[in-house]
Structure 1
Amino acid sequence: MKKVLFISMFLCAFIMQAQDDANFKAETIKFLKKTVTEDTFINAVAQIGATVPEAKKAAFVKEAKGTLGGLYDKMADMYMKEFTPAEIAQLNKFYDSELGKKLSTKQVQLTQKGMQLGQNWGMEVQQIAQKYATN
């Protein structure tokens, strides 16, 4: 009887943990969809498929979009290693706010502009390094 009770408790705990993990993953994917807009992926699909003939483009886009679920799943795993369920819940709450929505819509262009600024800065520092390397 003790073995049956122990096994039942173990299975119940295992099922609850699996459900918690599934909820955590669902919340993480929800967060990702708020911050990494699907348009970003659609634009990437369009760029990658630029060489696909027009007659095959619809099939290509459909198949490529079909891979997004797997990408979100892998990205969620990555974020779940860095953030707790409570932190993901807080992030979702923030991205549901007006400020969070604004940040989400501007994030890609801000990142691109920031990368350009970083490249310009890197070239500036490279010139300084060259000045000191030749003296």
Structure 2
Amino acid sequence: MFNCKKVREIFCIGSLLLSVFSYSQTKQDKVKELISLSGAFKLSKEVEKDILLNFKKRYTNIPDSVWSSLEPKINIDNLISQVIDIYGNKFTEMEIDEFLVFYKSDIGKKLIQNSPSIMTEIQTATSNWGMEVTNLVNNDLEQKGYLKSPPPPMPNPPAPMKSK
């Protein structure tokens, strides 16, 4: 006969051990989770396939057998290890834990969700600003007579290169 009290004790001890083991991540495991949660770096075997697909599109004359032999040689694990080391060298384990808490929070999830569109909008705004500054400088220099077609000769042209 089973002793219910004993079964409960074993279940509780087993649950406790399982939870301890599941939460005893190494710093590298935490960094990998952080990178995965934050979306800062796509930790995916799909990246390997995407890279190979881009080469296939570029070099259409290469037979599939060549690509099949290359596929096992393309391994993102080395790059993932390097990225984990970069994060690990910049942040303490306590800071990584704090990042994990943040990225698992509602506001952290919202940041992750909106990051791609934010980055796109920032790139567009930066590009537009750069164009406006270029136009402003060019218009101002043109009005002052510094920009002419063809451009005026340089006051001190570079010396011609001597041939050996």
TM range (shorter): 0.5 to 0.7
Q: Which residue of 1 aligns with 2:14?
A: none
**Structure with the larger RCO, 1 or 2 (CA within 8 Å, 6+ apart):** 1
Answer yes or no: is 1:33 the counterpart of 2:40.
no
Instruction: Using the TM superposition, give the Cα deviation of residue 41 of structure 1 relative to its aligned residue in structure 2, in angstroms.
Output: 3.8
Residues 49 and 60 of structure 1 are in contact (CA less than 8 Å); yes or no, is this contact kept in structure 2? no
Q: Which residue of 2 aligns with 1:121?
A: 129
User: 43-52 or 71-80: which moved more?
Assistant: 43-52
Aligned Cα root-mean-square deviation (Å):
3.1
**TM-score normalised by structure 1 residue count:** 0.61
Aligned length: 112
CA deviation vs aligned residue, 1:1-41 (integer Å, no higher than 9, x gap) = xxxxxxxxxxxxxxxxxxxxx92222112111112344794
Structure with the greater alpha carbon radius of gyration: 2
Answer yes or no: is 1:51 the counterpart of 2:58.
yes
| Aligned partner of 2:88 among 44, 69, 80 | 80
Structure 2: 5+ residue stretches without partners: 1-24, 145-164
| Aligned partner of 2:27 among 14, 24, 27 | 24
Instruction: Using the TM superposition, give the Cα deviation of residue 83 of structure 1 relative to its aligned residue in structure 2, in angstroms.
Output: 2.1
* Gap change, CA 1:38 and 1:25, over 3 Å in 2: closer
Q: Distance in 1 between matches of 2:117 and 2:70?
A: 27
Q: Which residue of 2 aligns with 1:3?
A: none
* Gap change, CA 1:58 and 1:33, over 3 Å in 2: farther
**TM-score normalised by structure 2 residue count:** 0.52
Counterpart secondary structure, 1:125: helix
Q: Distance in 2 between matches of 1:79 and 1:88?
A: 9
* Gap change, CA 1:61 and 1:104, over 3 Å in 2: farther
